[in-house]
Structure 1
Amino acid sequence: MSWFLPRVLAYVVMMLGGGLLGRIAGTPFHMSTSGMVVGAGMGVALAVLFDGLRGRRLLVWLRGSLQGPAPRDTGFWGELGYRVERAVRSREMVAVQEKARLAQFLSGIEASPNGVMLLNANDQIDWCNHLAAEHFGLDPVRDRSQHLTNLVRAPSFVAYLRARQFEQPVVFPSPGGRGTLSVLIRGYGDGLKLVLSQDITERERAETMRRDFVANVSHEMRTPLTVLSGFIETLVNLPLTEVERKRVLSLMGQQTARMQTLVSDLLTLAQLEGSPRPPSDRWVDVDKLMQHAEGDARTLSRERHQLVFESLAPAQLAGAEGELLSALTNLVTNAIRYTPDGGRVEVRWQPRADGSAEFIVKDSGIGIEKEHLPRLTERFYRVDGSRSRETGGTGLGLSIVKHVIQRHGGELDVQSEPGKGSEFRLIFPSLRVRVGQAAPVPVPQAVGAR
């Protein structure tokens, strides 16, 4: 209240001063008393006018943007302006801090691995992060305040939102059919909703592959086991001639070998998936890989095919010897198995212009329909299941090849046409190729070559 007494004193001084001047001015006219009253009133009026002008200056500032300083007056209006300005600046500072906290909070939500969307009580979009916008096919700015079901019309999601039963998430195809979404809604506040979305496409694909893998392994194991069980029962219960007994034992041996091959390939895949990436400083001689693959090929072909092995330049590959040999022999074995007698199989190693290099395995066999090519490296996928079993394949060879080449940083390229044969290319990056040198280290036996 430091302004109160000076303010009262100023009014008193103005009133007394005005009264004194009025008395002096009215004395010559014998109106000293009236002049004193009029002078006192005028003094008070001047004080009020001056006070009003200062108050108006403060009011103009309050009606403006409040960006500049308040009028720097003394007394009541000065203190009032100062306190109002301090309160405004304090509120602005709090608003800036809250805005910074909100921006930090929203940036944290932006970094969330899940899509996050906020809905008001009318199911209109208040805000969403970019991942949620991507999941639902929205524009995070343009689509604000839009009703969500006008933009996302998947029947299961619309029914889920309207039912208000949010105990379990709902799963449905994402807009545009790009994958599968799992969406969970939680209520908060006064009818507000938090929408959490997650892209589970890869999880669903992995789960489907796991189920298919278990089903395929069970099927592949069941067939030879059923055959063995039947033959064992035959040997136990029926009197067989020596010729019949030898034939049954031979067939049992074939089925046993088939199961051993399958188990070996499964172990190879498990080893490839669970082991570290191959070293980049251990070099394998390409010529020795070719020699070993050629020996296996001629043993399998038994001179029924025309085999051509060619290395265009001595070179080394950085990586795991057994894995590289397995990939190459798997491709060569498949080429021989699916090429009719009298056909031609070519295996070539050649550097490429960009410093990379490739193994090319080309055959004149039956070829593959175009629609099957993207799925060739899936486990147990067969273009012709009956023919694959006749040739002794497990359906895992190309899966092993794919894992090996990916672990070595390369890629598998497949070109094929029915009736015109197939061409498989194992392309290795330049970092794993060293041309013009040969390593004296012998190549180990292949792992899982089928």
Structure 2
Amino acid sequence: MLPPSTAIHTGETSPALPRADTPVRLVVLDDDDFDIEVFRRCVSSIQDLSLTLRSFHTAEAVWEELGREPCDLLFVDYHLEGTTGLDAKKLLNARGFTPPTILVTDGHGDDVMRDAVNGGFADYIPKRSVLPVVVSQVIRSSLEKARLQAQIEQNQRDLAETVKSLESSREEIRRFYHSVSHELKTPLTGAREFVSLVQDGVAGAVTDEQSDLLGAAIRNCDRMVTCINDMLDSSRIETGKLHLKRVVCSFGAVVEDAVKSLLVKAEEKQIEVHVALERGPALDAAFIDPVRIFQVIGNLVSNAIKFTPTGGTIHVSARATEGGSIEASVRDSGCGLSASNQGLVFERLFQSRDDDAATLGGLGMGLFICRELVRLHGGEISVRSKEGAGAEFTFLIPALAPGAGLLSPAA
């Protein structure tokens, strides 16, 4: 059996609580005048609380007399003429009269406890316990519970407003990314083309030194375009607007093309890149978005080049698994990742060191985009690394569309 002051969560909106200098407003709903008088005498003998008490025989009388007037605590007898205290509480609550309610009953034990809990009562008192010390304790504990519930509800409202504000700010940031990315990309693309024309001698002869300088300008334009594209992709991913365009094609060919596009960058650091592909039906006829898989492999290899010292090695591999998936990995001999960073490396804007953006380039979006593109393919990506001993990024994706048989690659 619950002790008389055991807390029971009501799930109701808490009413305004009385001020410290305001009497506690009690209402008793009981169809027995003798019980009402016992309760009245009990309340009047409580000297350490300022209390007012009104009594009624029916729930309708409570509603007609009080309506939505303030009430701090409602005591309801379990047995009422023609009804029960449970139904009386439901009737009043349905009409908006929802003060913390105490069930007063002749019974005790598990049945009473169950009825009190299911009925949403704040507490209950056996009639034999209607004594000044018990009633005083119940009043105090019920008011305190109501105060705490009101505070919880206020905190929840404040939290909801904070979440709403954060979501609004997040949406503004997404729109800003998208807008700025488009505004920057168009003039930057034009600037790169003009620099390329000058390097090609369209505007006149160019010396070797000038050509080198123009080449550096083009590479930095490409670097900025990559950052802009990452921002656009990140925005599309978060808004659900990035969609795959799957075709049946050679996974191995996509890997080779992605690696070839970065060989010059690797040669600048004298890094050897080794590619190992297990040929077979799954790799030769995979159902993928070749542009996005090219992007994933390109991001992983580019990262490997970035963090591998001069003279290092990178291994790129792909194979079909027995479960009908394709496993691809990029392993380097670079600086590796700490154990703590391995759990964060796929998060958006993550930089493994504070100076990464300044010294190594990038916005910290590449691996986040890799993860999301792999997930869109129905796969997962992971990393194994030891600080100072390189890193290996591996992703696994289904080779075919669900329910598809062996298909021929697109021409």
Q: Which residue is equivalent to 2:228?
A: 263
Q: Does 1:299 align with 2:244?
A: no
Opposite residue 346 of structure 1, the aligned amino acid is: H
Provide Cα deviations, 1:123-169, integer angstroms capped at 9, x if missing partner: 789xxxxxxxxxxxxxx7598535689789xxxx839549xxxxxx7
Q: Which residue is equivalent to 2:154?
A: 170
Provide Cα deviations, 1:70-103, integer angstroms capped at 9, x if missing partner: xxxxxxxxxxxxxxxxxxxxxxxx99xxx9xx8x
Alignment counterpart, residue 350 of structure 2, candidates 366, 371, 381: 381
Q: How does 1:36-435 map to 2 (within 5 A)?
A: 120-122=98-100, 145=122, 158=148, 161=151, 170-171=154-155, 182-183=156-157, 256-272=221-237, 273-275=239-241, 277-278=243-244, 282-302=247-267, 304-314=270-280, 315=283, 316-429=285-398, 431-432=400-401
SS in 2 for 1:293: helix
In the alignment, the residues of structure 2 paired with residue 363 and residue 148 of structure 1 have an alpha-carbon distance, to the nearest angstrom, of 65
In the alignment, the residues of structure 2 paired with residue 406 and residue 258 of structure 1 have an alpha-carbon distance, to the nearest angstrom, of 26
SS in 1 for 2:329: strand
Q: Which residue is equivalent to 2:113?
A: none
Residues 397 and 276 of structure 1, relative CA distance in 2, 3 Å threshold: closer
Residues 413 and 122 of structure 1, relative CA distance in 2, 3 Å threshold: same
In the alignment, the residues of structure 1 paired with residue 142 and residue 340 of structure 2 have an alpha-carbon distance, to the nearest angstrom, of 39
Residues 385 and 150 of structure 1, relative CA distance in 2, 3 Å threshold: same
Opposite residue 339 of structure 2, the aligned amino acid is: K
Total equivalences in the alignment: 269
Residues 329 and 364 of structure 1, relative CA distance in 2, 3 Å threshold: same
Provide Cα deviations, 1:15-71, integer angstroms capped at 9, x if missing partner: xxxxxxxxxxxxxxxxxxxxxxxxxxxxxxxxxxxxxxxxxxxxxxxxxxxxxxxxx
Structure 2 unmatched ranges of 5 or more: 1-81, 104-116, 124-140, 189-206
Provide Cα deviations, 1:243-287, integer angstroms capped at 9, x if missing partner: x9999988876665543332222223344554364356x212112
Opposite residue 170 of structure 1, the aligned amino acid is: Q
Residues 367 and 283 of structure 1, relative CA distance in 2, 3 Å threshold: same
Residues 285 and 419 of structure 1, relative CA distance in 2, 3 Å threshold: same
For the 8 Å contact 1:313–1:436, the answer to whether it is kept is no
For the 8 Å contact 1:279–1:318, the answer to whether it is kept is no
SS in 1 for 2:227: helix
In the alignment, the residues of structure 2 paired with residue 151 and residue 212 of structure 1 have an alpha-carbon distance, to the nearest angstrom, of 41
How far apart are 1:205 and its partner, in Å? Answer: 7.3
Opposite residue 343 of structure 1, the aligned amino acid is: G
In the alignment, the residues of structure 2 paired with residue 149 and residue 429 of structure 1 have an alpha-carbon distance, to the nearest angstrom, of 59
In the alignment, the residues of structure 2 paired with residue 312 and residue 149 of structure 1 have an alpha-carbon distance, to the nearest angstrom, of 72
TM-score w.r.t. structure 1 length? 0.46
How far apart are 1:422 and its partner, in Å? Answer: 1.2
Q: Which residue is equivalent to 1:192?
A: none
Structure 1 unmatched ranges of 5 or more: 1-93, 107-117, 126-139, 163-168, 172-181, 185-196, 226-241, 442-450
For the 8 Å contact 1:360–1:424, the answer to whether it is kept is yes
For the 8 Å contact 1:216–1:380, the answer to whether it is kept is no
Residues 248 and 385 of structure 1, relative CA distance in 2, 3 Å threshold: farther
For the 8 Å contact 2:248–2:410, the answer to whether it is kept is no
For the 8 Å contact 1:350–1:357, the answer to whether it is kept is yes
Residues 158 and 326 of structure 1, relative CA distance in 2, 3 Å threshold: same
SS in 1 for 2:330: strand
How far apart are 1:404 and its partner, in Å? Answer: 0.9
Q: Which residue is equivalent to 2:191?
A: none
Compute the RMSD of aligned alpha carbons. Answer: 5.2
SS in 2 for 1:415: strand
Opposite residue 258 of structure 2, the aligned amino acid is: A
Opposite residue 382 of structure 1, the aligned amino acid is: Q
Opposite residue 154 of structure 2, the aligned amino acid is: V
In the alignment, the residues of structure 1 paired with residue 149 and residue 358 of structure 2 have an alpha-carbon distance, to the nearest angstrom, of 48
In the alignment, the residues of structure 2 paired with residue 208 and residue 417 of structure 1 have an alpha-carbon distance, to the nearest angstrom, of 38
Residues 209 and 353 of structure 1, relative CA distance in 2, 3 Å threshold: farther
In the alignment, the residues of structure 1 paired with residue 161 and residue 320 of structure 2 have an alpha-carbon distance, to the nearest angstrom, of 41
How far apart are 1:309 and its partner, in Å? Answer: 0.9
In the alignment, the residues of structure 2 paired with residue 124 and residue 367 of structure 1 have an alpha-carbon distance, to the nearest angstrom, of 64
How far apart are 1:212 and its partner, in Å? Answer: 7.9
Q: Comparing both chains, which one has the higher relative contact order based on Cα–Cα distances under 8 Å and sequence gaps of 6 or more?
A: 2
Deviating 4+ runs (over 4 angstroms) = 140-144, 146-152, 197-201, 203-222, 244-258, 271-274, 433-438
How far apart are 1:342 and its partner, in Å? Answer: 2.2
Q: Which residue is equivalent to 1:439?
A: 409
For the 8 Å contact 1:343–1:364, the answer to whether it is kept is yes
For the 8 Å contact 1:268–1:400, the answer to whether it is kept is yes
